[in-house]
Amino acid sequence: MTGPGDAKVTVVIVNFNAGAVLADCVKSVLDSTIPVKVVLADNASSDDSIANIKNLLGHDPRLTIMENAENLGFAKANNRALPLAEGEYVLLLNPDCVIKPDTLARMISAMSERPDVGMAGCLIRNLDGPEQRGCRRSVPTPWRSLAQVTGLNRIFPGDPRFQSFNQTNAPLPDSPVYIEAISGAFMFVRRKALDDVGPLDEGYFMHCEDLDWCMRFGMNGWKILFVPDAQITHAHGVSSAGRPVRVEWHKSRGMIRFYRKFFRNEYNVFLFYLVIIGVWARFVAKSMLALLRAL
């Protein structure tokens, strides 16, 4: 077994009540074919996920556990863990993901051949096999979001003006391709690029901080890569399953922050605020649906 000082990649995992899947996630990383270090940042979980990890893997010197006194959110918890990272690459990984033994090696191979790439994502599959929505995407500009919410992308499927920002239904490429944005469930980052761009924006509690990072990487001249031959599975939403309204609230706030930060001066005022209204209308609809399901 290699020690943490030999790590080529540091994997940062933020946990909040992920339950039993957390152990599967950490174990899959430790089973990688290359030397790794794992920094597990726990956001004051109330379940037994951390106790289980300590019991199963606490003896492994490659694992460092940070126990935060409160739920700091995704961005802040990751940022607190990043100073502990070692190696040339850092992976931000969701706790309900399971990687393959060669996933990290494949990512390093793709990145090392392209020094202009600062961040890369892999093929993320649902537990039943299909590619997960949001795995590869264009930046969801206000116009693209409006086209998707209103259904214009389905009414005019061949018109590039109304295309969805999600590329899940597009054919998988045969080799790595440049892309505008990847999923926050798996963000493989070159350490040099991270030092250049800076950490995640802590103004986001959860959701949209990944899109923000993708935008900032691009603005700093770093390209983003999608690597189709590196695959993982993602259970999606395990930590947030018991708080659907709270999750939708943070998602809506995050999207509005994202729009204001990057697009406020690029759009007609009427269109911009129409999108903002649409975001909150979506929040109300999703929240009511969640409450009805709970009842």
Q: Which among 281, 122, 90, 271 has a CA at the least distance from the CA of 192?
A: 90
| Residue 62 half-sphere exposure toward CB, CA atoms < 13 A | 24
pLDDT at 4 over 60: no
The answer to whether the beta carbons of residues 52 and 174 sit under 8 Å apart is: no
Q: Which among 223, 115, 130 has a CA at the least distance from the CA of 177?
A: 223
Distance CA 141, CA 156 (A): 18
User: Looking at the whole model, is its pTM more than 0.85?
Assistant: yes
Q: Rounded mean pLDDT of 93-117? A: 97
Fold exhibited by the domain 4-234: Spore Coat Polysaccharide Biosynthesis Protein SpsA; Chain A (3.90.550)
Domain spans, the chain: 4-234, 244-294
Instruction: Quote the tokens at residue 33.
Output: 């074919």
Q: State the virtual CA torsion across 260, 149, 278, 267 in degrees, nearest 10.
A: 40
Contacts of 76 (CB under 8 A, 6+ apart): 200, 202
Count of other CB atoms within 10 angstroms of residue 113: 10
pLDDT at 143 over 80: no
Residue 66 phi/psi, 5° resolution? -110, 125
Tokens 């037994």 map to which residue? Answer: 48
| Residue 252 host element (H or E) | helix 244-263
| Residue 180 host element (H or E) | none
Q: Rounded mean pLDDT of 41-53? A: 96
Rg (CA), the chain: 19
Count of other CB atoms within 10 angstroms of residue 180: 19
What is the predicted pLDDT for the residue at 93? Answer: 98
Helix axes 244-263, 209-219, angle to 10 degrees: 20
* 185-230 residue pLDDT tens: 999 999 999 999 999 999 999 889 999 999 999 999 999 999 999 9
Q: Which of 37-41, 184-188, 273-277 has the lowest mean pLDDT?
A: 273-277
pLDDT at 170 over 90: no
